[in-house]
Structure 1
Amino acid sequence: IVTDVRVPGNSSQILLPYLQQANIKYTVLISDLQKAIEKQSGLRLYRNRRSVAGYNYEVYHSLEEIQSWMYRLSKTHSDLVQMFSVGKSYEGRPLFVLKLGKRSRSYKRAVWIDCGIHAREWIGPAFCQWFVKEALQTYQTDPAMRRMLNQLYFYIMPVFNVDGYHFSWTNVSSFANVSENILDEGASFHPCDDTYCGPFPESEPEVKAVAHFLRKRRKQIKAYLSFHAYAQMLLYPYSYKYATIPNFSCVESAAYNAVNALQSAYGIRYRYGPASTTLYVSSGSSMDWAYKNGIPYAFAFELRDTGHFGFLLPETLIKPTCTETMLAVKNITMHLLKKCH
């Protein structure tokens, strides 16, 4: 069993000798957590915010920057990008989504992508932005991307938990969000716990709005991809119980090919499989909810790393993380185009 422990600086002088005496192996991952947090969330005053061309995809962006970026793209790439809101958050912020794809016919199958369900996992929103960038930049030159955008729509929500994400920038803290009504193991009824399930299913306006949007399009949306951190895993249902999904062989094949494609970039190996056996049993998974509501390919990515930086992944790792993840997502999407009817 491996676990991460956070201790006050003055307590480490007591803890480390105890671990040695008990013959418990340990590694100090982050010697000064406060400094790491301050470094990640420090204000970046010199970014070029004036144009899409000057937007830096290799740094983390605040909610305001991300929403401004979405708006600019919808204006400068109106042939491929539409911006709309599915509702409002608890604190009244709009829940923006980008619809990405060529408007060639009235009905097209679709892929839903969300990032930032958990506010402290900043690499998620970074990837959502990276995906849009790559799609727009390579549409004319990459036959695979051209086919993807011509034959599918991508609904992309860069920041699901907008209130929590904004709070994590301004107060150096974090939120969790729950979007599933299957509650058993891995969920807490205590409001201060990371795994708090909420008072009732879809109790939060963000969750209710997205759930309503997905349910209305359940016949159109063929894949649900949710991006999180950290663990370097590609997970699929079920998360809330030990059981095999009916279309296991198709989903397993897609996952296997996706992690191989990902590994081809930098040699990073992802584990893959049902979330309950690959990670742990947990209730409240949006992936499980999507699958239960008729979306046949539902995946949750746990991006870099495996614990050294954890939720404080440095900006220097945004590019390699997003580059390799892009290969996996393209692979899954091409699998849909070949197999899904």
Structure 2
Amino acid sequence: MKVLLFFGLVAAALADVTRFDGEKVLRLKPVLAEHVTLIRDLAESIEVDFWSPDSPELVTIDIDVDIRVPARYLSIVYTTLGQSSMAHEILIEDVQVAINRQADNGISPKELHSYTKYNTWDTVLSWINSIASSNPSLVSKQVIGNTFEGRPMTLLKLGKSSGTTKPSIFLDCGIHAREWISPAFCQWFVKEALETYGSDSQMTSLLDQMDVYVLPVFNIDGYEYSHTTNRMWRKTRSKLSGSSCLGTDPNRNFDAGWCTVGASSNPCSETFCGSTPESEIEVKNVADFIRKNKSSIKAYLTIHSYSQLLLFPYSYSYNLAADHSELMSVAQGASAALTSLYGTRYTSGPGASTIYLAAGGSDDWAYDLGVKYSYTFELRDTGYHGFLLPESQIKPTCEETMLAVKYIAAHVQKNLY
């Protein structure tokens, strides 16, 4: 009886995990106004997950659109595309197969942390505690608040201890839950910083003269949910009174042109802006910390995926930032440094004109607060794996991104304000 009960519980648990068998990711190439209308109409009539851009409202002519289509809707989508003569291609033949193949770096126990695997939140938290206790002269930690579901948002502070407040850089990863390569980079950054301090002159100088705050996972609840239940989950896991749909897009929830463009007021939308700016406790915790320390924070770097972009303000407006020329110069230099390792090509520029208008983003908010060097990375790739980047690409992605981050950090260090 106990054996039957055990297998029954296992079956029930597995039944709760969302599967994506037979689903495809398609790249649509709209070149006519009719194509744009068709894509938006499709989004209204059937369940479509927009990967890039991240909502139907942002679809425009001559910008490729990547969508995940559930298997049950494929026939109607193919019929519609055939009638429209819109060019398209298949990026991912079977989403579930791609999910299964992500863990291609061999099998290891989930509780063992690895820099070349996508670690669960519990494993990341254990790593945070271990890395801080093992490196007391260079690392300290603090909880800046809890998530909606009560998980601690633990911030690592990297830097040589000093009796005075040092200028600092704030780095966060994992705002969007399904972008697993992002938290992988924050963990890699900490590893590299600690391993190369004392041997790499640039890193040594950086941590001697500045502090780097690292938030390994911003949207912890969503990240955990993407590991346990729904690999494609993007938002937070908050509940809104009067709605059965959960979560808010934390990168539409900052008070920067909030909910004016490129965001949705519909709680069921993937780009739901929230009920008010900073309605998400995770966003408020980060914003409160940066506000409290804004006199010392000189750069804000936020890591996303995918598209291979290095963006800076503004995204909520086509207006150029006051520091546009310098921000562009630094972005181009950082992108060139990144490309030098494996030849990976990045595009640099303001968010609005480089990809699309989107209000409520963390980089725009930080810049408007007075953090001049404010950048958003969109890591590998350009869509053929999308959010399902194989673990074999973690190491090269992180290695090349380190070069770009170090380039920005060096510029900040030499141009404190």
C-alpha distance in 2 between matches for 1:21 and 1:179: 38
The aligned residue for residue 316 of structure 2 is: 240
Q: Do the aligned residues in 1 keep the contact of 2:167 with 2:297 (CA within 8 Å)?
A: yes
Instruction: Write the deviation string for residues 191-229 of structure 1: whole angstroms up to 9, x where unpaired.
Output: 111110100111111111111110011110000000001
Deviation per residue, 1:252-286 (Å, 9 max, x gap)? 11111100000001111100011000010001100
Distance, in Å, in 2 between the alignment partners of 1:191 and 1:247 is: 35
TM-score (norm 1): 0.94
Q: Distance in 2 between matches of 1:11 and 1:249?
A: 46
Structure 1 residue 225 corresponds to structure 2 residue 326:
no
Q: Is the 8 A contact 1:84 1:97 kept in 2?
A: yes
In structure 2, what is the equivalent of residue 99 of structure 1?
157
- 8 Å CA contact 1:41, 1:169 repeated in 2: no
* 1:47 and 1:56 in contact (8 A); partners too: no
Relative to structure 1, the CA distance from residue 340 to residue 29 in structure 2 (aligned partners, 3 Å threshold; closer, same or farther) is same
In the alignment, structure 1 residue 30 sits paired with structure 2 residue 74: no
Q: Which residue does 1:269 correspond to in 2? A: 345
Q: Distance in 1 between matches of 2:303 and 2:383?
A: 17
Unaligned runs of 5+ in 2: 1-61, 236-248
Hey, what does 1:165 align to over in structure 2? 223
Tell me the equivalent position of 2:384. Answer: 308
Counterparts of residues 1-341 of structure 1 (less than 5 Å) = 1=62, 2-9=64-71, 11-13=73-75, 15-16=77-78, 19-20=81-82, 22-40=84-102, 46-47=108-109, 55-172=113-230, 173-174=232-233, 175=235, 176-177=249-250, 178-181=252-255, 182-183=257-258, 184-341=260-417
Partner Cα separation in structure 2 for residue 91 and residue 26 of structure 1: 40
2:170, 2:214 within 8 Å by CA — same for their partners in 1? yes
Runs of at least 5 residues in structure 1 that lack an aligned partner in the other structure: none
Q: Which amino acid aligns with 1:262?
A: L
Q: Distance in 2 between matches of 1:137 and 1:329?
A: 16
Q: How far apart, CA to CA, are the structure 2 residues paired with 1:17 and 1:283?
A: 34
Distance, in Å, in 1 between the alignment partners of 2:305 and 2:311 is 12
- Alpha-carbon deviation of 1:248? 1.6
1:274-306 alpha-carbon deviations (Å, 9 max, x no partner) = 100001000110001101111111000011111
Amino acid aligned to 1:334:
A
Conservation of the 8 A alpha-carbon contact between 2:115 and 2:187:
yes
Contact 1:189 / 1:197 at 8 angstroms: preserved in 2? Answer: yes
Superposed displacement of residue 35, structure 1 = 2.2
% identical equivalent positions: 46
Contact 1:89–1:205 (8 Å) recurs in 2: yes
The structure whose Rg is larger is 2
Q: Deviations over 1:91-147 (max 9, x none)?
A: 111111100010134121000000001001001100000000000111121000100
